[in-house]
Amino acid sequence: MPRFHPGIEHLASGQRGSLDRAPKILRIFQSMFSHDSNGGVASFPIVALEGPSGIGKSRLLDLISEDLIRADVAFDRCSNNDSGRWSAVIRDLAGAGDRPFTLALAAAAARAELREGARQLQLCDRFVVSTFVYQRFAGVPIDYLYDVNRPFLKGSTTFVLRLGSEALEERRRSRPRKSDWFKDRIGTGEEIELYDEAAAFLRTQGHDVRVVDATLDAMTLSRQLAAEIAAMVQRNSS
């Protein structure tokens, strides 16, 4: 079993590791997605909802979906880890916990397939931010994670739901919680902190990551986020 630790490589300085120091296969992997093309990884936007487990993403995504349908916004609903052919591989690797780098690449491959197969807006349950939380916790360096996921962040917007530790613990007690990934190993406060660090890191790299106060009731918050998403789609299509 691997030793689990948060590891804050290069985060304070906002610097990432050079691709020159990455394994050759990693450089090849990134070069495959380093340019835009018709139907390529940057052709259609992704809007992702992220946040610690049990914060209420699934319920909120259901409500946002209903609002977008009423607003006549075309989209596909997806889950980064449960959509497509990579789901079983990712779940198997996550359950074993002894191949964190393989898991990181499998999750990135699922994102690549999601981007390449998209034909309209994708409304996604998790995308890249969560990999900077759980796979960093498993010991994978942040520069490695950024290098393999950077191409898929282009054209994406991520809303990161945030609650304090006590409020999140209370919300978790009111709903069933799956025991997968690293949820049985990571503490509530540490999970929140890693999400904060991931959001801050990606913003320093110029990516559209927005932290959202999740203390609002689900109906109010869904209407606000759906309106924001609909406005983004309108701007992009005009």
What pLDDT does residue 95 have? 79
Mean pLDDT per 10-residue segment, the chain (238 residues): 38 39 47 43 79 93 96 91 82 84 92 89 94 92 95 93 96 75 80 97 97 96 96 82
Kindly list the distances between the CA atom of residue 141 and the CA atoms of 5, 108, 137, 230, in Å, as whole numbers in the listed order: 11, 15, 9, 35
What pLDDT is recorded for position 230? Answer: 94
**Whole-angstrom distance, CA of residue 28 vs CA of residue 22:** 10
pLDDT score for 222: 96
Q: Are 48 and 127 contacting, i.e. CB atoms less than 8 angstroms apart?
A: yes
Which H or E run contains 197? helix 188-204
As a whole number of angstroms, the distance between CA 182 and CA 175 comes to: 18
Q: What is the pLDDT of residue 10?
A: 37
Domains of the chain plus CATH, in order, are 44-237 (3.40.50.300)
Give the DSSP letter of residue 123.
Answer: E
Task: State whether residue 65 is helix, strand or coil.
Answer: helix
pLDDT score at 46:
92
β-strands 208-213, 156-162 pairing: parallel
Q: Phi/psi class of residue 76: alpha, beta or left (left: φ > 0; alpha: ψ in -120 to 50)? A: beta
